[in-house]
């Protein structure tokens, strides 16, 4: 009771709610609440500090990305002593992939704390991962490396980092397919063609040919996504040949 009363006496109610929310997510008490507030501040708010520098989560995101990479690298280095540099790099990429970070941010419900002038429904998927990394950056500034490592262990490594599962997880079907084509000395080509769909949002249509054979077609909201989608379809069509090379 004393602790709760101290929190609400030292911060307005809004700060008190934010403090309790952060404490629940972090698993420990934040010391400097303002650092964590900045981790959820979108650039659209256009806030500046006393020196006129922009205040938003992007710098903390940069720091959090570096801390996450370092701590995941340390874990993999210790857990897989036989892994060479290429193996460790590939495994780390699977853990810190944008898709995975977005899932982590969603699981923690971080979007509810974002302060923005843009409606939250207008944000892309990456906002979840961006804010997750910014939160890690805030932890590092507020509490240091050990608390940062503890948070990543509890929220990322323990629930999600299974070495055997990661070894079988494909990050990019396009990269996998290109690597196979190069080894087999096969030509490949991704061609954007006219999209006749009637979606309100613009779509891109892509054909993937390997050698002279049309392997797959796909549509998506970006050329990159369409290429990845076509690559995935082609991969499963060629799976036995690729896996038994």
- Kindly list the catalytic residues: 65, 133
**Cβ contact 161:88 at 8 Å:** no
pLDDT of residue 225: 87
The tokens for 123 are 């944000």
pLDDT the model gives residue 4:
44
* In the predicted structure, residue 157 carries a pLDDT above the cut 90: yes
Residues composing the chain = 245
Q: What is the pLDDT of residues 186-225, one digit of tens each?
A: 999 999 987 766 666 778 899 999 998 999 999 988 888 8
Find the Cα–Cα–Cα–Cα dihedral 160, 129, 203, 173, rounded to 10°. -40
Q: 132, 57 in Cβ contact below 8 A?
A: no
The predicted structure's pLDDT at residue 30: 95
CA distance 42 to 240: 46
CB atoms within 10 A of CB 90: 14
- pLDDT tens-digit map of 102-149: 999 999 999 999 999 998 888 889 999 999 999 999 999 999 999 999
CATH number of 173-243: 3.30.160.20
Which tops the pLDDT comparison, 193 or 31? 31
Q: What pLDDT, on the 0 to 100 scale, is given for residue 1?
A: 40
Q: Phi, psi at residue 204, to the nearest 5°?
A: -115, 140
Domain boundaries, the chain: 2-167, 173-243
Query: How would you class 124 by CB atoms within 10 Å of its CB: exposed for 0-12, middle for 13-18, buried for 19 or more?
Result: exposed
CA angle 160, 157, 174 (to 5 degrees): 55
* Matching residue, tokens 């990322």: 156
Give start and end residues of each alpha helix (H) in the chain: 2-10, 13-26, 33-38, 58-79, 85-95, 98-107, 126-143, 145-152, 158-160, 163-167, 173-183, 223-237, 239-243
> 160 pLDDT exceeds 70?
yes
Q: Are 182 and 195 in contact (CB under 8 A)?
A: no
Separation between Cα atoms, residue 149 and residue 147, nearest integer Å = 5
Q: Residue 87: what pLDDT?
A: 82
In the predicted model, is pLDDT for residue 3 greater than 50? Answer: no
2-167 CATH: 1.10.1520.10
Check pLDDT > 90 for residue 242: no
pLDDT in tens, 38-95: 999 999 999 998 899 989 999 999 999 999 999 999 999 998 888 888 888 888 988 8
pTM across the whole model: 0.68
Burial class (CB in 10 A: 0-12, 13-18, 19+), 50: exposed
């Amino acid at each position: 009771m004393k602790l709760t009363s101290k929190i609400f006496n030292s911060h307005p109610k809004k700060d008190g709610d934010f403090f309790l929310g952060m404490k629940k997510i972090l698993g420990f008490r934040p010391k400097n609440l303002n650092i964590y507030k900045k981790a959820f501040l979108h650039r659209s708010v256009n806030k500046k500090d006393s020196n006129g520098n922009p205040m938003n989560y992007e710098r903390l995101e940069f720091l959090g990305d570096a801390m996450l990479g370092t701590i995941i690298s340390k874990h993999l280095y210790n857990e897989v002593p036989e892994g060479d540099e290429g193996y460790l790099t590939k495994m780390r990429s699977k853990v810190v992939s944008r898709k995975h970070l977005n899932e982590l941010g969603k699981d923690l419900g971080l979007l509810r704390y974002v302060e923005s002038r843009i409606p939250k429904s207008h944000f892309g998927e990456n906002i979840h991962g961006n804010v997750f990394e910014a939160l890690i950056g805030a932890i590092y500034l507020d509490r240091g490396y050990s608390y940062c490592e503890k948070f990543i262990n509890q929220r990322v490594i323990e629930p999600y980092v299974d070495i055997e599962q990661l070894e079988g997880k494909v990050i990019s079907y396009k990269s996998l397919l290109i690597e196979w084509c190069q080894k087999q000395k096969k030509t490949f080509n991704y061609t954007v063609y006219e999209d006749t769909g009637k979606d309100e949002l613009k779509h891109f249509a892509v054909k993937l040919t390997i050698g002279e054979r049309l392997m797959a077609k796909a549509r998506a909201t970006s050329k990159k996504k369409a290429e990845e989608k076509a690559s995935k379809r082609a991969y499963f069509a060629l799976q036995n040949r690729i896996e038994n090379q």
